[in-house]
Amino acid sequence: MSLRLLLFDVDGTLAETEEGHRAAWNATFAHFGFDWHWDFNTYRDLLQIAGGAERLRHFAPADMSDETIRAMHRAKNARYREAMAAGEIGLRPGVRQLIDAARARDVALGIATTTSRGNVEALIEGTLGRAALGWFSVIACAEDAPEKKPDPQVYRVALARLGIEGADAWAVEDSRNGIIAAVAAGIRVVLTPSLYMAGDDPRGAALVLDDLAAVAPEELLDQLGAG
Ligand code: XBP
Ligand code: MG
């Protein structure tokens, strides 16, 4: 049990992106002529459902077509990507430092997320720069794993692509669904609860930190078993 692979969740973990998703949804609702507005508490409840399109399906009237749901989700993502690429949301504390320290110690980096590849790329480009996409040995996202967290599919895909056992990996997660998904794939979890997930049940996480700046990156890598 060593640390060969550090897998990052995206939404809520790399950055507090959900405020960006929420703002983009509200602008999209207005654009499509709906007077809906998802406030913080409404969105927090809706976040129990993984996936933006699935979330809207749950909220929308039952007679709304799948085509309209898909069109609104696409429009939301277009707005969201513009905001992320413009650098409107920064990384959470300590994320950059841990990434740099892991690279320096030859720990492979990966991403395992419910969101789409385009959203991941926009966030990475807006925060770490385009070249940083090459720092990640695997980027597993919605297109690779239709079964969304808490299903472990996205974590299993990431491990399989690199031929690494769950026991040799750690995941950094922010949510209950994320913990369940990673643990079911045999991966230990560092939990850094996000704005929307504060107060959620942390059981199953091997380590809980307010954020990744709570422990010096070298010390954290030692704790996770980096060589
Ligand atoms: C994140 C999600 C996503 C985002 C929005 O889960 O559930 O649905 O809220 O992205 P996790 P999309 O952080 O556990 O991966 O609209 O692209 O789904
Ligand atoms: Mg998350």
Asked whether the predicted pLDDT for residue 1 surpasses 80, the reply is no
Domain stop point among 47, 65, 85? 85
Confidence label for 66 from pLDDT (cuts 50, 70 and 90): very high
pLDDT one-digit tens code per residue, 82-140: 999 888 999 999 999 999 999 999 999 999 999 999 999 999 999 999 999 999 999 99
Query: Counting atoms of ligand 1 from 1, which one is nearest the CA of 115?
Result: 17
142 and 199 co-located in one domain: yes
120 and 176 co-located in one domain: yes
CATH of the domain at 107: 3.40.50.1000
Domain stop point among 30, 63, 85? 85
Q: SS3 of 152, please? A: coil
- How far does residue 16's CA lie from ligand 1's centre (Å)? 11
144 is catalytic: no
Mean pLDDT of 187-205: 96
What pLDDT, on the 0 to 100 scale, is given for residue 42? Answer: 97
What pLDDT, on the 0 to 100 scale, is given for residue 227? Answer: 78
Residue closest via CA to ligand 1's atom 3 equals: 51
Question: What is the domain extent for residue 45?
Answer: 18-85
75 and 104 co-located in one domain: no
142 and 127 co-located in one domain: yes
Mean pLDDT of 2-12: 96
CATH of the domain at 36: 1.10.150.240
Residue from 9, 151, 174, 200 carrying the catalytic annotation? 9
What pLDDT, on the 0 to 100 scale, is given for residue 194? Answer: 97
100 and 176 co-located in one domain: yes
pLDDT one-digit tens code per residue, 140-180: 999 999 999 999 999 999 999 999 999 999 999 999 999 99
What pLDDT, on the 0 to 100 scale, is given for residue 82? Answer: 94
- How far does residue 87's CA lie from ligand 2's centre (Å)? 19
Asked whether the predicted pLDDT for residue 225 surpasses 80, the reply is yes
12 and 22 co-located in one domain: no
pLDDT one-digit tens code per residue, 15-35: 999 999 999 999 999 999 999
24 and 59 co-located in one domain: yes
CB-based pocket (< 6 A), ligand 1: 9-12, 18, 21, 50-52, 77, 113-116, 119, 149, 175, 177-178
What pLDDT, on the 0 to 100 scale, is given for residue 85? Answer: 87
117 and 179 co-located in one domain: yes
59 and 132 co-located in one domain: no
The number of domains in the chain is: 2
97 and 70 co-located in one domain: no
Residue 165 DSSP class: -
d(CA 181, CA 148): 9
- How far does residue 220's CA lie from ligand 1's centre (Å)? 26
- This prediction has a pTM of 0.96
Query: Counting atoms of ligand 1 from 1, which one is nearest the CA of 181?
Result: 14
Q: Where does 105-186 have alpha helices with state H?
A: 117-127, 153-162, 176-184
Mean pLDDT of 173-192: 98
Query: Counting atoms of ligand 1 from 1, which one is nearest the CA of 177?
Result: 14
| Residues, beta carbon < 5 Å, ion ligand 2 | 9, 11-12, 174-175
From the centroid of its chain, how far is CA 159?
Answer: 16
Do residues 109 and 226 lie in contact, with contact meaning Cβ atoms separated by under 8 Å? Answer: no
- DSSP lists the bridge partners of residue 91 as 15
218 and 177 co-located in one domain: yes
Residue 149 DSSP class: T
d(CA 92, CA 75): 26
* Residue 105 CB coordination number (10 Å): 14
Mean pLDDT of 10-17: 98
100 is catalytic: no
- How far does residue 149's CA lie from ligand 2's centre (Å)? 9
Domain stop point among 59, 85, 111? 85
124 and 151 co-located in one domain: yes
